[in-house]
Amino acid sequence: DSGLKPDERWALKELLDFSLVSSSNDGMRAIALSLGGLSISNARSEEVINDFVRKMNEEALRLDLKNTYFWNETGLDESEIKGGAYGTAKDVTRLMEYIVTAHPALLEATRAREVEISSLDNFKHVAKNTNDLVGWIPGFLGSKTGYTTTAGGNLTLAFDPELGRPIIVTILGSTERGRFEDAKKLI
C-alpha cells in the first residue's frame, strides 16, 4: 500500500513519477490497468493485466532483450520460488540505455530524494526515493530499484560524469542493502 486512494484520478506522468521514485507496485498496477484497458475496455482486470504483460514481453523482444521475460506488471514474486520477471544484467543495462537515450524524461523524477506529487483529485503524495545513492553520484541521470525475496536486491542507474557518454551500473541478485554498496564499488 503506497497511499493511493480508491478511484483517485491521476495524470499518467505524475503516477509514473510517483511509482518509479517510490517503487509503488500499486501505482504500476493502476498504470497497467489504465493503459491496458485502452485496447480491451470491456475485459476483466485479469484479462487487461495479462494483455498488458504480453505487450511488455513483445516490447522486450523488440528491444532485443533476449533474456528478459515478464510474468506480471510489477515484477513482484509470483510465488516463493518463481519471480515476477527475469532478465540479465546485460538486458537491464540495455533497457536503461534505451530509456536514457530515447525517453530521458521518464527518469527525471528519480533524480530527487523525495518528490511531492498531487493527483488530479488534489491528494498530495510524498514519494521517497528507494535509491539511497541519490545525491551522491556526479552527473546522476536516473535509476530504478527493485527488491523481492526471489530476485534479491536490484538496482540500475545511469550517470554522466562529464565524459559525454553515460555510464550505466546494474546490480542484480544482491541484498536489499548490499545493492547500494555494490554499486558504489563499481562507480
What is the pLDDT at residue 164? 81
pLDDT of residue 180: 98
Furthest-apart CA atoms within the chain: distance in Å:
50
**What does pTM read for this prediction?**
0.93
Residue at 70: amino acid letter: F
pLDDT less than 70: residues of the chain? none
Question: For residues 35 and 105, what is the distance between their CA atoms, to the nearest angstrom?
Answer: 19
Confidence (pLDDT) at 162: 84
| Helix (H), strand (E), coil (C) string for the chain | CCCCCCCCCCCHHHHHHHHHHHCCHHHHHHHHHHHHHHHCCCCCHHHHHHHHHHHHHHHHHHCCCCCCEECCCCCCCCCCCCCCEECCHHHHHHHHHHHHHHCHHHHHHHHCCEEEEECCCCCEEEEECCCCCCCCCCCEEEEEEEEECCCEEEEEEEECCCCCCCEEEEEEEECCCHHHHHHHHHC
State the CB neighbour count (10 A cutoff) for residue 154. 22
Determine the pLDDT at residue 41: 76
Residue-wise pLDDT tens digits, 166-176: 999 999 999 99
Per-residue pLDDT, 115: 97
How confident is the model at residue 39, as a pLDDT? 82
